[in-house]
Amino acid sequence: MLRAAFGSSGLEVAAEFTTLTGEPQSTTTSPNRLPLYIGDEDIRGMLYITAPLSAPASAAEAEPTSADIEPSDEHATDAVAATAPPAAVQFVHDGLTLELEGVVTTTTGDRIVFLSTCVKLARAGTLAAVPGGDPLVFGFQINNLDKPHESYVGSNVTVAYLLRLVASKPRKLLGSAGARAKHEFSIWVANYQVPPERNPPLVIEFGFDDVLKVELEYAQSKFALDDVLVGRLYFETVRIAIDSIALSLVRVESVVHGPGTLRKSRPIFYHEITDGAPVHGEAVPIRIFLDDFPLTPTYKNIHNVFSVKYVLNIIVVDDADRRYFKQQEIVLWRPPPGDLIELE
pLDDT in tens, 216-273: 999 999 999 999 999 998 988 888 888 888 999 999 999 998 888 999 999 999 999 8
In the predicted structure, residue 139 carries a pLDDT above the cut 90: yes
Q: Which residue has better confidence, 155 or 212? A: 155
In the predicted structure, residue 59 carries a pLDDT above the cut 60: no
Among 263, 231, 246, residue whose Cα is nearest residue 330: 231
What domains sit in the chain, N to C, each tagged with a CATH number?
4-54+87-190 (2.60.40.640), 202-333 (2.60.40.640)
Q: Of the given ranges (7-21, 29-43, 286-300, 309-323), which has the lowest mean pLDDT?
A: 29-43
pLDDT for residue 341: 38
In the predicted structure, residue 60 carries a pLDDT above the cut 90: no
Ramachandran angles phi, psi of 60, nearest 5°: -65, -20
Alpha-helical segments (H) within 63-140: none
Q: Of the given ranges (69-78, 95-104, 195-204), which has the lowest mean pLDDT?
A: 69-78
- Quote the CA–CA distance of 49 and 15 in Å, as a whole number: 9
Helix (H, G, I), strand (E, B) or coil at 87: coil
- Quote the CA–CA distance of 44 and 50 in Å, as a whole number: 20
pLDDT for residue 113: 97
Confidence band, pLDDT 50/70/90 cuts, at residue 338: low
Q: Of the given ranges (43-52, 98-107, 287-296, 319-328), which has the lowest mean pLDDT?
A: 319-328
What DSSP line would sit under 287-338, residue for residue?
A: EEEGGGS-----EEEETTTEEEEEEEEEEEEETT--EEEEEEEEEEE---TT
Q: Which residues of 9-43 are buried (b: 16+ CB within 10 A; e: fewer)?
A: bbbbbbbebbeeeeeebeebeeeeebbbbbeebeb
In the predicted structure, residue 316 carries a pLDDT above the cut 70: yes
pLDDT for residue 40: 87
Average pLDDT over residues 52-81: 49
Given a contact cutoff of 8 angstroms between Cβ atoms, the answer to whether 223 and 331 are in contact is: yes
Confidence band, pLDDT 50/70/90 cuts, at residue 198: very high
From the CA atom positions of the chain, what is the Rg in Å? 30
Across all residues in the chain, what is the average pLDDT? 84
pLDDT for residue 55: 37
pLDDT for residue 87: 84
